[in-house]
Amino acid sequence: MKYDFLIVGQGLSGSILAIQLEKLSKRFKIINSYENNSSSKVAAGIMHPLALKRGTISWRGKEFYNFSKDFYTSFDELNETNYFENHKLKRIFSSFEEQNNWIGKTADSNYEDLIAFNNLPIKKIKTPYGNGLLKKSHRLNVKDFLQLVKNKYRKNIINENFKSENLKIKGKIFNYQGISYQNVVLCQGVGANTNELFSYLPIIPNKGELLEIKSENLPKLILNSGVFSLPTGNNLFTLGATYNHLDRTYKNTLEAKEELMTKIGKIVKINDLQIIRQKFGFRPTTSDRKPLIGEHPLVKNLFVINGMGSKAVLMAPLLINELLESIFENKQLDKLVDIKRFVKKVNSQTIQSVKKISEN
Ligand SMILES: Cc1cc2nc3c(=O)[nH]c(=O)nc-3n(C[C@H](O)[C@H](O)[C@H](O)COP(=O)(O)OP(=O)(O)OC[C@H]3O[C@@H](n4cnc5c(N)ncnc54)[C@H](O)[C@@H]3O)c2cc1C
């Protein structure tokens, strides 16, 4: 039996790809080795179109936002789930300069449906420089979303470690463990760094740590003040996240816990907060801060989806749709995400790994 696609990795990228392939009636298998600290499994799942620190619309922010909102809403409708939630988000300003910048933006027509300024105090929260409202903000319950995708496609999921040396190409067809595939898409997150086929790509693991806390006083909306607090029900909140591209250790750290508590302590009394647990994961980030999407420069029909950084929930649905349009409708990928921009980095290791999988 021949499949249209082999998807490697069932994080957010692989899951979203599978959903889109099903819509196109394509036949696929997914191979994934499940581990608790994959980036998607720990992600808070926050999605909005703003770069909050600067108070500006993020790169292609509105376009991504509109596509993703429709994508997750129709996923929920189809599956009778409620994984994509609306949340109000309040930005706590760190200076009058930031407040002024925000007020200025509210007069800009590009921002009028996005942000508002109101200086009403938030109960039990210190806001010496005021706060602004982001009207378009959501949270995807990523953990449950991934679990549902896993259950939905369980007959087509192989639960094991993918080894690129076991992939073979004969003519235009791939073979992996005796099964034939027309296309292979690697959606491995930072796991891609152990895959020689794409090891020339600059995927930089950026460790993020989160705290799950209990509080009677934090408001039931997303607060962002350099650190975010996200209500997850029953007085529980996710507090996050740290960014550290130097620490590659597979463990929670005291430094991260202290950093998060110090930051949240600037806006709320920390005596009220009870730490329940700490989590870590590694975001797949890139040297130019743009995702990595496209076809292998030496192997036709071998693709990669990676480098979603801290905005996978926002960006992945549209970028994956664009990859599929490039495959089936010959449309051009956005040059800023296309891995063609790194073609000069292809090295002898890449060439050797391609030779290994190519059969005569
Ligand atoms: C603390 C933290 C908070 C975050 N919060 C947010 C947020 O609020 N909003 C947001 O949009 N993003 C957030 N992110 C970022 C987001 O988690 C990532 O961008 C996204 O999850 C990447 O998804 P992915 O599918 O590309 O990679 P991953 O999630 O890393 O998935 C890759 C999958 O491939 C599997 N895999 C890898 N190699 C192999 C192999 N050889 N064989 C088999 N399987 C393999 C892995 O086990 C994994 O299941 C956060 C990240 C962290 C760490």
The distance of Cα 320 from the centroid of its chain, to the nearest Å, equals: 12
> Does 16 sit in the ligand 1 pocket, CB within 6 Å?
no
Give the residue-averaged pLDDT of 318-326: 98
Average pLDDT over residues 223-248: 96
- Whether ligand 1 lies within 6 angstroms of the CB of 44 is answered as yes
Give tens-digit pLDDT for 133-175.
999 999 999 999 999 999 999 999 999 999 998 999 988 899 9
Helix/strand number for the chain, H first, E second = 8, 21
* Residue 45 CB less than 6 A away from ligand 1: yes
What is the Cα–Cα distance from 147 to 85, expressed in whole angstroms? 17
Tell the residue nearest (CA) to atom 30 of ligand 1. Answer: 189
For ligand 1, whether the C-beta of 281 sits within 6 Å is yes
* Lowest-confidence pick of 43-47, 48-52, 81-85, 169-173: 169-173
Give me the mean pLDDT over the 49-62 stretch.
Answer: 94
Whether the per-residue pLDDT at 41 is higher than 90: the answer is yes
d(CA 187, ligand 1 centre) in Å: 9
| CA distances in angstroms from 105 to 112, 134, 140, 266, listed in the order given | 8, 12, 27, 26
- What is the rounded end-to-end Cα distance, in angstroms, of the chain? 22
43 CA → ligand 1 middle, Å = 8
> Which residue, 357, 328, 326, 348, is CA-closest to 339?
326
Reading the block at residue 355, the tokens are 């030779």
The whole-number pLDDT of residue 360 equals 55
Note the CATH number of domain 205-285. Answer: 3.30.9.10
Tens digits of per-residue pLDDT, 288-300? 999 999 999 999 9
Tell me the torsion sign for CA atoms 115, 121, 123, 125. positive
CATH topology for the 2-42+143-202+288-357 domain: FAD/NAD(P)-binding domain (3.50.50)
Model pTM? 0.97
Task: Tell me the per-residue pLDDT of 85-144, one tens digit each, with 9 for 90 and over.
Answer: 999 999 999 999 999 999 999 999 999 899 999 778 899 999 999 999 999 999 999 999
Q: Nearest C-alpha to atom 5 of ligand 1 is from which residue?
A: 43
For residue 294 and ligand 1, the question of a CB distance below 6 A is answered with no
Q: Assign residue 324 a region: left if phi > 0, alpha if psi is -120 to 50, beta otherwise?
A: alpha
Q: Is the CB of 240 under 6 A from ligand 1?
A: yes
CA pair distance 200, 274, nearest whole angstrom: 44
Residue 306's pLDDT is 98
CA 38 / ligand 1 centre spacing (Å): 5
Element containing residue 356 per DSSP (H, E): helix 348-357
pLDDT at residue 61 greater than cutoff 70: yes
What is the CA(129)–ligand 1 centre distance, in A? 35
Neighbours of 280 (CB within 10 A): 22
Dihedral, CA atoms, 211, 216, 219, 225, nearest 10 degrees? -40
Mean pLDDT over 285-310 rounds to 97
Decide whether any atom of ligand 1 lies within 6 Å of the 161 Cβ: yes
For the chain, what percent of residues have pLDDT higher than 70?
A: 99
> Cβ(167) to ligand 1 under 6 A?
no
Ligand 1: centre distance to CA 61 (Å): 20
Q: Does the Cβ of 91 fall within 6 Å of ligand 1? A: no
> Would you say 282 and 190 are in contact if contact means Cβ atoms under 8 Å apart?
yes
> Ligand 1: which residue has its CA nearest to atom 31?
11
Within 8 A by CB and 6+ apart from 4, the residues are: 21, 26, 27, 28, 181, 182, 183
- Domain boundaries along the sequence of the chain: 2-42+143-202+288-357, 89-136, 205-285
Tabulate helix, strand, coil % of the chain (nearest 5).
35, 30, 40
Angstrom distance (rounded) from CA 339 to CA 287:
12
10 lines ligand 1 (CB under 6 A): yes
Encoded amino acid at 270, one letter: I
